[in-house]
Structure 1
Amino acid sequence: MVDMKKKLGLFSIVLLGINAIIGSGIFLLPNKAMALMGTASLAVFIFNMFVVMSIGLCFAEAATYFNKSGGPYVYAKEAYGDFIGFEVGFIKWAICIIAWATMAVAFATALGQIVPAAQDPMIQNIVVVCILVGLGIVNIIGVNVSKILNNVVTVSKLVPMIIFISLGIFFIKPSNYSPVFIETTGNFGKTSLLLFYAFTGFENIAVAAEDMENPQKDLPKATVIVMIIVSLFYFFIQFVSIGILGPELAHIPAPIQTAMGMILGPFGSSLVAAGTLVSIGGINIANSFVTPRCGVALADDGLLPSFIGKRSKRDTPTYAILISVGIAIPVALSGSFATLAAISVVSRFAQYIPTCLSVLVFRKRNQPTEFDFKIPFGPVIPIFAITVSFWMLSQATLEQLLWGLAGLLIAVPFYFIMKKNRQDQIKI
């Protein structure tokens, strides 16, 4: 029997969610938003807060019906059947592996900015492999080690942001908030899609449900808490960045680091640089924990070979971890990451839209549980989330849509191969 002390409680789930969302982007994002929308970028953050919260609430309600791993895959499968579920689950595992590989490279790159010797390509590759293999070993050792490491790193990455916001408000110049609108204010849709990417990752919270003490009770609470915390951090970081740097923010590649340098001198810049490194490291830890469990959920339902879902005596999915690491290493070393953002943005909606729709299905079909959580205002919020999701997809370029569609198409032959294997086994 698995020791419940080694499972994730509410506090650890919240930190896992924050860690899975907040990465290097928030340290670099303010300048891009300022360049596209000026001070009006604050309105885009507020809009995205409502969008993400509405989608997050759908995930929170869907989580009350199930206590097994898989997240979006489980919701899609239970609502619409094996094929749609497999499409969602397969693309999620693939994207998680690619995203983890990319974050490993991002960590090595960020390390090179602090330690010049680490800029050497050979050393960067060694760092990348060490990160992927090292975190794979940590996850094989057990959930408790991953939990402790995740909690420490998450708290550490939040410290520089809390200091920046707390001190930065005293250095704000009100004149920097005008004019509110600039010539490129018409880029609202483009900016929304860009900033939305910074919020992605919350869907990973539910993937590791079986490693939580009480997922049906804690997941809804954790999802709401995580989205509120992340949304407030993002808004106030943008608000303070504009207040300190003004129009120049649009042209500064590392805005928070620059602003902290103005507040605390070289120490402030170094603090943010270290925070960026810890932040990217945190994303790696969260990805290393969530990624293998995407494959486990598919294997448990017979949609992938059963050995992938097999757990060790420590209750960790050893084979899924080894496969994830084994694929992530060549992806990371290939250096072909130019289209990652395009694939990721579009494919994420392939998880969000089915989950929001599934809530409406579960309400009519499933019996309420003792941890029943219902989104207020009936179907209004799920319908709003679905509508805005399609609108955001319409803001993507044709290339982004094609890459996202390609990911879904790749999953089709795998599904039918596994389906045929299952049918052959039944005949035997």
Structure 2
Amino acid sequence: MAEKQKMKFWSIVLLTINSIIGTGIFLSPGSVAKLSGSLAPWIYLCAAVFASVLAITFASAAKYVTKNGAAYAYSKAAFGENVGLYVGITRFVAASIAWGVMATGVVKTTLSIFGYDSNNTLYITIGFLVLMLILMVINLTGNGILTFVSDISTIGKLLALGITIIAGIVILLQTGHTNLSEINLLKDASGENLIPAMTVTGFVTAVISAFYAFTGFESIGSGASDMENPEKNLPRAIPLAIGIIAAIYFGIVLVSMFIDPKALITSKEVVVLASVFKSKIISNIIVYGALVSMFGINVAASFHTPRIFEAMAKEKQIPAYFDKRTSNGVPMRAFCITALLAIVIPMAFGYNMMGIMIISSISRFIQFIIVPLGVVLFFYGKNREEVLDAKKNFVTDVFFPLLSVVLTVFLLVKFNWVAQFSLKTESGDMVTNWYAISAMVIGYVVLPLVMFMFKKNEK
């Protein structure tokens, strides 16, 4: 049988970009600007610095461990089976549900474009099933077609964002006027300033909100065995992709705030960036670019999320039934269980993203502590399992990982947890968000316990 085609360096870079640029930059600038005012572009740069430090750390882990599974594989190699299992199952569940949320975004946007009710549960469910069928067909064709679709969708979204930046610059040159200062003068219905005074907690909350638009890089190593020379290409591809994305985000947010910061904050549109531009042509480019972006990130998710589950099956921590591939090298059994989870959970919760997104976000922060500490163990040879004899570097293998841990702990300590687990009622009162708390308990306690019980029974 001929050797299956593997991803080369630039395809890995494009896959990384595709895995990161999804809905975040199209939907999040308004909330970030509302928290930070005219500082929003710089908040994105701060988030980019945090993401870059973590990206370098994850890239360092990838040169020691090239097994599929990313954070799961790194954690297991560094700390053993139990820690690996916990990181793996929480990451898998969060990634699957996040995939479901992103799929919901594609379906709702598509329904809206074609004039259908984007809140109709039946329409969303049908669209959901059709999308998953399309993604399954793309995966069944093998890495060649999947890579091609991923590359094209990535190029498409970059063109849409690039055109938006250029159009914004042209508008600014033609008018010779910027409206950036207006954002700090906006008032709410009661006459209070809409933009709060910047505090440490406010800054951290804004950075984490902006950081969500950078998440996804930590999953790239999930499919390392399907890449060409992953121990060399991953450490170069991931930081390069982060740098490209940071430049794009900074340009998009800065231009948008120069043109119409009020629209960025007050718009009720699904794709917030589209409301900044008065030109229907530019608005449509942004909307369709967002759709291409969301579809692209679904393609990326359909590639690396099942491989987390497959990696755990290879290590006998979950049923070996899921450690099977098709003749084209596709882990179809793992794909089906992942897709099922991605469909059922959003459907069960009425396609509400609130608590589900919290699990997705927080699960990444668990990795951002355990994986960096694991890289330090790799450097000093204190790991629990054998790793590759990679070229060691104190800066990337010790300094950056420890810096990652410090930054992650700082953000977790200073983050506004009370607000995160509260909901505002129609009367303006804040009540406990039991939905989000229940989701956290299921994702972090119940499911890991089930997996630990399975593992114990197997032994």
- TM-score, length-scaled by structure 2: 0.85
2:217 is aligned to 202
Tell me the alpha carbon deviations over residues 260-310 of structure 1, each in whole angstroms, 9 at most, x when there is no partner: x43xx2211111111111111111111111111010110011101111111
- Contact kept? 2:90, 2:363, Cα under 8 Å: yes
Bigger mean CA offset, 336-345 vs 296-305: 336-345
- Contact kept? 1:344, 1:404, Cα under 8 Å: no
SS in 2 for 1:8: coil
Q: Does 1:185 align with 2:198?
A: yes
Q: Does 1:414 align with 2:414?
A: no
| Pairing of 1:320-331 with structure 2 (within 5 A) | 320-331=334-345
How big is the shift at 1:252? 2.5
| Pairing of 1:78-157 with structure 2 (within 5 A) | 78-117=77-116, 119=118, 120-157=120-157
**Structure 2 vs 1, CA of residues 284 and 377 (structure 1 numbering), >3 Å: closer, same or farther?**
closer
How big is the shift at 1:122? 2.3
Q: Does 1:397 align with 2:421?
A: no
Identity %: 30
How big is the shift at 1:226? 1.3
2:267 is aligned to 252
Tell me the alpha carbon deviations over residues 201-233 of structure 1, each in whole angstroms, 9 at most, x when there is no partner: 111110000111211111111111111111111
Tell me the alpha carbon deviations over residues 42-61 of structure 1, each in whole angstroms, 9 at most, x when there is no partner: 22112111111111110011
Question: For the residues of structure 2 that align with 1:291 and 1:345, how far apart are their CA atoms?
Answer: 15
How big is the shift at 1:158? 1.1
Tell me the alpha carbon deviations over residues 24-77 of structure 1, each in whole angstroms, 9 at most, x when there is no partner: 221122221111111112221121111111111100111001221010001111
- Contact kept? 2:42, 2:250, Cα under 8 Å: no
Code of the aligned partner of 1:279:
S
SS in 2 for 1:393: helix
**Structure 2 vs 1, CA of residues 133 and 356 (structure 1 numbering), >3 Å: closer, same or farther?**
same
Question: For the residues of structure 2 that align with 1:151 and 1:377, how far apart are their CA atoms?
Answer: 29
How big is the shift at 1:328? 2.1
SS in 2 for 1:339: helix
Superposition CA RMSD, Å: 2.3
Bigger mean CA offset, 414-423 vs 402-411: 402-411
How big is the shift at 1:347? 1.1
- Contact kept? 2:100, 2:343, Cα under 8 Å: yes
| Pairing of 1:239-278 with structure 2 (within 5 A) | 239-253=254-268, 254-259=271-276, 261-262=277-278, 265-278=279-292
| Pairing of 1:327-366 with structure 2 (within 5 A) | 327-334=341-348, 335=350, 336-365=352-381
Question: For the residues of structure 1 that align with 2:394 and 2:115, how far apart are their CA atoms?
Answer: 50
Tell me the alpha carbon deviations over residues 79-107 of structure 1, each in whole angstroms, 9 at most, x when there is no partner: 11111101111011111111111111111
Question: For the residues of structure 1 that align with 2:447 and 2:121, how far apart are their CA atoms?
Answer: 33
Question: For the residues of structure 1 that align with 2:335 and 2:397, how far apart are their CA atoms?
Answer: 40
Question: For the residues of structure 1 that align with 2:314 and 2:17, how far apart are their CA atoms?
Answer: 27
2:321 is aligned to 307
How big is the shift at 1:129? 0.6
Bigger mean CA offset, 405-414 vs 139-148: 405-414
Question: For the residues of structure 1 that align with 2:35 and 2:70, how far apart are their CA atoms?
Answer: 34
Bigger mean CA offset, 141-150 vs 411-420: 411-420
2:404 is aligned to 385
Gaps of 5+ in 2: 185-194, 422-435
Question: For the residues of structure 2 that align with 1:401 and 1:373, how far apart are their CA atoms?
Answer: 41
1:426 is aligned to none
SS in 2 for 1:117: coil
How big is the shift at 1:377? 7.0
How big is the shift at 1:256? 2.3
- Contact kept? 2:60, 2:397, Cα under 8 Å: no
Bigger mean CA offset, 386-395 vs 151-160: 386-395
Code of the aligned partner of 2:369:
I
How big is the shift at 1:396? 4.4
Question: For the residues of structure 2 that align with 1:337 and 1:247, how far apart are their CA atoms?
Answer: 25
Code of the aligned partner of 2:457:
N
| Pairing of 1:195-234 with structure 2 (within 5 A) | 195-234=210-249
Question: For the residues of structure 1 that align with 2:322 and 2:387, how far apart are their CA atoms?
Answer: 32
Code of the aligned partner of 2:417:
T
- Contact kept? 1:77, 1:84, Cα under 8 Å: yes
Tell me the alpha carbon deviations over residues 350-375 of structure 1, each in whole angstroms, 9 at most, x when there is no partner: 11211111111110007996763636
SS in 1 for 2:330: coil
Q: Does 1:176 align with 2:192?
A: no
2:430 is aligned to none
Higher helix share: 1
**Structure 2 vs 1, CA of residues 357 and 179 (structure 1 numbering), >3 Å: closer, same or farther?**
farther
- Contact kept? 1:171, 1:243, Cα under 8 Å: no
1:316 is aligned to 330
- TM-score, length-scaled by structure 1: 0.91
Question: For the residues of structure 1 that align with 2:394 and 2:83, how far apart are their CA atoms?
Answer: 24
Bigger mean CA offset, 189-198 vs 299-308: 189-198
How big is the shift at 1:404? 4.1
Structure 1 counterpart of 2:308, from 271, 291, 294: 294
Tell me the alpha carbon deviations over residues 141-189 of structure 1, each in whole angstroms, 9 at most, x when there is no partner: 3122211111111111111100111231233366433379754322211
- Contact kept? 2:56, 2:396, Cα under 8 Å: no
SS in 2 for 1:213: coil
